[in-house]
A = this chain, B = another copy of it.
Amino acid sequence: MATGRSHRPATRSRGIPEATVARLPLYLRALTALSERSVPTVSSEELAAAAGVNSAKLRKDFSYLGSYGTRGVGYDVEYLVYQISRELGLTQDWPVVIVGIGNLGAALANYGGFASRGFRVAALIDADPGLTGKPVAGIPVQHTDDLEKIIKGDRVSIGVIATPAGAAQQVCDRLVAAGVTSILNFAPTVLAVPDGVDVRKVDLSIELQILAFHEQRKSGEETAAGGAKATAAVTPPTDSSDQGPDGDVPAVMPA
């Protein structure tokens, strides 16, 4: 799992497993594409293929949300889009601030799929006075000095940190003190936050290192136990090709 953890094991009522939550956005994206093509219903098999998961997992995931399918038929696309959006909280407006407007911050600000689904860039914030007032993606950059004012004024609860690593913890502390309770961290640092604050991290270098690990075992397959060499059986071929919401994340540093 990734973000916070909890959902007391007992009192199982409201608990949607974290792994399921992490896949809902994937299903939603696939469903939205179907919706745009005016496809009325979809089977678990078809939708699973579009989302890159297997159908048993998808059905189990949906079973946590309730019984939204029809046996023998499949799922109603529009209805599912609505139910998943609701479950994810995307039917409400989420103002987001981006702190650190380097290349990465600018890329995030320009990200289209942002505004579309419930998220609204409420402000861009940077410590460089030279940037203050300059528009990025049509939004004028504001100075870090005004961070607290901005957060409180617009009741922002989600902050994106795209600063250099050295500034990240300080920015995080200020965001949290001002009322932010969810943080998406692109700086390659472990952030310390109080209980009740969720942090997710995106770390390029971690992702590359994980890829390198697997890449390494694709060629040289000696080392192992038995006596066999290159062939499978001793060291399996590392099938891969999955890409489901597994267990971790990567980070990027702005320019």
Contacts and interface: CB of A to CB of B under 8 A. Distances in A.
Interface of A: 1-8, 11, 13-14, 18-19, 21-26, 28-30, 50-52, 87-90, 92, 94, 96, 102-104, 106-108, 110-114, 117-119, 157-158, 181-185, 188, 190-191, 193-216, 218, 223-225, 233-250, 252-255
A118 B238 contact: no
Contact of A213 (B51, B88, B215, B254): B88
B243 A214 contact: no
Contacts of A191: 243
Contact of A1 (B4, B6, B13, B246): B246
A204 B111 contact: yes
Given A181-B218, A243-B191, A253-B111, A202 B212 contact: no
Q: How many copies does the complex hold?
A: 2
A214 to B, nearest CB: 5
Given A207-B184, A255-B110, A213 B247 contact: no
B245 A248 contact: yes
Contacts of A199: 240-243
Given A188-B29, A208-B184, A241 B107 contact: no
Contacts of A201: 243
Contact of A104 (B8, B104, B244): B104
B238 A7 contact: yes
Given A29-B188, A247-B22, A90 B182 contact: no
